[in-house]
Amino acid sequence: MSRDAVDLRRPVLEPRPVEVAALPQQLTLDLSRTAVVAVDLQNDFCHPDGWLASIGVDVSGAAGPIGALAATLPALRAAGVPVVWVTWGNRPDRANLPPGVRHVYDPDGASTGIGDPLPGGSHVLELGSWSAGLVDELVPEPADLQVAKYRMSGFPDTPLDSVLRNLRVDTLLFAGVNTDQCVLATLTDAANLGYDVVLVEDLCGTTSPDFCTAATLYNVRQCFGFTTTSAELLAGLHP
């Protein structure tokens, strides 16, 4: 770019195909056009002092994929795959949340809902707070990107789509919690926007009953895309 001219050409991305075992069929992925989308791996959902645990939810299922993701990300980063952290982080005044969303998380109007204080002093899912922060075991690298969301899906009312398109990716590897809720909602919107979607089973977790995960995996394979595991991804990177 100069005072007199602007070059609008994008870099030409050299294809980097890898073969990955998946369901319902084996995949060929282009690593140069692939990103990891990691959803809601934050304290309020996964930590024993977070919001869900404070209202009596067993968060062990949400914390389950943390170790596997921490072990998998270095190899994906080394292969040049961008990592995008999508976490629920609301405005402190909750001005962009419609009544229906606020009701879902405080149905009787007298419980601990979005934006309410927790015993440790943080506020539920508030942007910039400990509650909305990633768990300690997952440390973003400087090149990683972070996007705050305000709904089950990471796409409405956020820059996620713009970020991904500027990365020039069209295949998304999904990790995070909850498998059957925010991960599925974000994956579904991604598929509807034209991205190719792959849910990495052991990098996702949920506090819901097991049948919810089974239904999610069925629907992803049947209607939206593919499922694989971190072991199969790593095997594809290092055949």
The catalytic site residues sit at 40, 149, 182
89: closest CA among 131, 36, 139, 117? 131
Cα–Cα distance between 78 and 138 in angstroms, integer? 16
Region for residue 168 given its phi and psi (left: phi exceeds 0; alpha: psi -120 to 50; beta: otherwise): left
HSE-up of 214 (CA within 13 Å, CB side)? 3
- The structure tokens listed for 198 are 């792959």
Reduce the DSSP state of residue 201 to 3 states and report it. Answer: strand
Name the residue among 85, 95, 100, 106 with its Cα closest to residue 42. 85
Q: Taking the C-alpha atoms of 196, 218, 75 and 162 in order, what is their torsion angle to the nearest 10 degrees?
A: 30
**CB contact at 8 A, 161 and 155:** yes
Dist. CA 128–CA 36, nearest whole Å: 22
